Structure 1
Amino acid sequence: MATRGANRKKLQPVQLPLFPDSAVLCRIRPDLNERRYYRMEVWPDLFGRALLMRQWGQIGTEGRQRTDPHPDPGAALNALARIARSKHRRGYRPRP
């Protein structure tokens, strides 16, 4: 007879990121007929640097896109946090 715990899988700990490497923000103001989004992601490149991809526009469209190179992932994450704070001051909120 097998023990009850023998069939259970051991759970592996999950390391959550300390700093988010992506953000999706939106600003919806129906009284002004405004529905906008702003999306950012940090991507590694082939040379050990990092890219900050930014995309923005009206919700439901592809919008515009810009990719900014940074010397390392930490610099890209700092830029992401700085831009997210700026957008928050302008009324953007995390996507619900």
Structure 2
Amino acid sequence: MLLAVVQQRNSGLPSGKITLPRRSSTVHAKRCLAYFPHDGLKDKAVNMTVYLLPHDHKRLKQLAVEHDTTIQALVMDGLDVILKDNGQEPLTRWKTRRKPRG
């Protein structure tokens, strides 16, 4: 169906120019809301990326398994130590949605 719409729109255009049908902003917004609801952690927290070499990542995974926790929890605990050493309060925690391991 999309191909038919594109062909119909492009029938009067010079060759090499193609226009796609415009997506309704309302439909697009509703689809985005379905994938990213506005009542969860993603609305309140900021995503942060850390790049590690593979052997360091493996070491953290092993440490997390040995202590029955997650890499996320290890990182948060490490940041708490740095904040405490600098006279600041620990990071705010939120309740996890995951079930405990084991």
Q: Mark yes or no: TM-score above 0.5.
A: no
Give 1 or 2: higher helix fraction.
2
TM-score (norm 2): 0.25
Give 1 or 2: higher strand fraction.
1
Q: Which has the higher contact order (CA 8 A, sep 6+)?
A: 1
TM-score (norm 1): 0.26
